[in-house]
Structure 1
Amino acid sequence: MEVLGIDIGGSGMKAAIVDLKTGEFIGKRKRFKTPQPATPEAMMKTVVKLQKHFDWSGSIGCGFPAAIIDGTVKTASNIDKSWIEKPLANMIRKATGCATRVMNDVDVAGLAEMRFGAGKDHGGTVLILALGTGIGSALFHNQQLMPNTELGHIQFKGDIAEAYAANSIRENEDLSWEVWGKRLNQYLVEVHKLFWPDLIILGGGVSKKFKKYEKYIDSRLNVIPAELKNHAGIVGAACQFL
């Protein structure tokens, strides 16, 4: 089965046709800049541009940077506040004429890692954390997703955790890998106390640099880097049709 996977982010909207048997792209992905301001009307026009680029009439899976319940947007952190309570799945369905499923962007990236990447065939409790501008999370138990977790927003060090340990903080404060790695470890220990995951998978762009901070992470936590890198969001968006 082939599905058009769309990964919507605060800065870019990316898509590719995904082969659900292999998790591979069919052809090249396409990326457009996320319109500013990122209003529903402007972003839907970009979704249609992506559909037209691929001349697509099949199913569409979408990952979106918000909590999503029954296809409806419930939060808006890196997008326009006017998205809240918008029926995203129905909007894409109407605009494209395609069967559509939508889910939180980190949740779909998690689906991809669990199906085709670092969590493949892994039972028990698996926590996936996307370290970027903030800290996104996806929690699985025996391959079943518990959607819309926001574990980057737990209270930690007098603020939310992502204000202390996100990759953007490392960049903005020019932290060394050691200083940031130790911060990240403190956060991971705290989250581990709450959920006792058997495995923690670190995603986001910084997963490619895992060797630079691996030694600062408590080995008892069983932490590994994600495998699908920048493809996870698109592949996972399509995986909603599995």
Structure 2
Amino acid sequence: MTQAPERAIGIDIGGTGMKAGIVDLVTGNLVSERVRIPTPVGATPPDVLDTAKQLVELLGDDAGTLPVGVCFPTIVKNGVTLSAANVSDAWINLEADKLFSDALGREIHFVNDADAAGLAELEYGAAKDQQGLTIMTTLGTGIGSAFLFDGKLVPNSELGHLIWKGDSIEKWASASARERADISWSKWAARLQKVYAHIEFLFSPDLIIVGGGVSKNPEKFLPMIETRAPIVVAHHQNNAGIIGAASLVRSAH
């Protein structure tokens, strides 16, 4: 096994934006500016690949031939994307890691976006050295989740698709659902209380981490939620996907 590189590029592909940065794999800190380009309309594989190339170019000479970790809003198994959320259906059953490796000419590692956020917390944040089961939830357009057990990622959990009143629970309790319904933070916290109570009943986690865009304003909702397990805010907010995706390179070595 080769020695792990000290730096890697993380690319975070979302439904509305694609972001990238160079990450110090020892500290988990960004050592470059974070660059962002809007996700191409339709998010087809060729367009996303072109945008990924542009992001690497924006990182400049420091990007060199650094390996790349990519996180993506889809189920990922063995580098193959098996679903599509807010991106083209052409990603379903696509050998995405090979596609990116050929396009960028370098080592590629692929992971689900919520799993990437979980890895960032596992390696460099709230879940570091945590024993037992940690469940991270990302509250945004939907509800993403990452299961971390005794320092290892259990990939591709989809807690946002737990069924609630006949539909995915994220359509009722995500951050975007709060905005659509135009409800107060306290009313949204009451919805989240039901979500976390259900998750605790099913899985009995030892720690719950709350991430996503709303983790910048935890005082508006988190004090109103009661759980048996400690519930804390993610250390890495908007950079979690970039950092977690890059950390895959460290894990691979």
Say whether the fold is shared (TM-score over 0.5): yes
Q: Identify the residue that residue 62 of structure 1 maps to in structure 2.
A: 70
Query: What letter corresponds to residue 139 of structure 2 in structure 1?
Result: L
**CA deviation string 1:71-116 (max 9, x = no partner):** 0110011101111111110011000110010000110110001111
Shift of 1:216: 2.1
Q: Identify the residue that residue 86 of structure 2 maps to in structure 1.
A: 78
Shift of 1:140: 0.8
What is the distance in 2 between the residues matched to 1:58 and 1:219?
A: 42
2:247 equivalent to 1:239: yes
What is the distance in 2 between the residues matched to 1:240 and 1:143?
A: 14
Query: What letter corresponds to residue 14 of structure 1 in structure 2?
Result: K
2:125 equivalent to 1:117: yes
2:188 equivalent to 1:180: yes
**CA deviation string 1:33-70 (max 9, x = no partner):** 10001100100001111122224312011111100011
2:211 equivalent to 1:211: no
2:50 equivalent to 1:45: yes
Shift of 1:164: 1.4
Work out whether residues 16 and 27 of structure 1, in 8 Å CA contact, stay in contact via their aligned partners in 2. yes
| Alignment of structure 1 residues 142-221 onto 2, 5 Å | 142-221=150-229
Shift of 1:219: 4.0
SS of equivalent to 1:227: coil
**CA deviation string 1:7-38 (max 9, x = no partner):** 11011111011000111111211111100011
| Structure 2: stretches of 5+ with no match in the other structure | 1-5
2:99 equivalent to 1:94: no
SS of equivalent to 1:15: strand
Query: What letter corresponds to residue 80 of structure 1 in structure 2?
Result: S
Q: Identify the residue that residue 27 of structure 1 maps to in structure 2.
A: 32
Query: What letter corresponds to residue 248 of structure 2 in structure 1?
Result: Q
What is the distance in 2 between the residues matched to 1:177 and 1:88?
A: 38
SS of equivalent to 1:37: coil
What is the distance in 1 between the residues matched to 2:44 and 2:134?
A: 34
Shift of 1:220: 2.2
Once superposed, what is the RMSD of the aligned Cα atoms? Answer: 1.0
| Structure 1: stretches of 5+ with no match in the other structure | none
Work out whether residues 139 and 214 of structure 2, in 8 Å CA contact, stay in contact via their aligned partners in 1. yes
Compute the TM-score of the two structures, normalised by the length of structure 1. 0.97
What is the distance in 1 between the residues matched to 2:32 and 2:94?
A: 32
Overall identity of the aligned pairs, in %: 42
Work out whether residues 182 and 217 of structure 1, in 8 Å CA contact, stay in contact via their aligned partners in 2. yes
What is the distance in 2 between the residues matched to 1:74 and 1:219?
A: 33
Compute the TM-score of the two structures, normalised by the length of structure 2. 0.93
What is the distance in 1 between the residues matched to 2:173 and 2:230?
A: 18
Q: Identify the residue that residue 15 of structure 1 maps to in structure 2.
A: 20
Query: What letter corresponds to residue 233 of structure 2 in structure 1?
Result: P
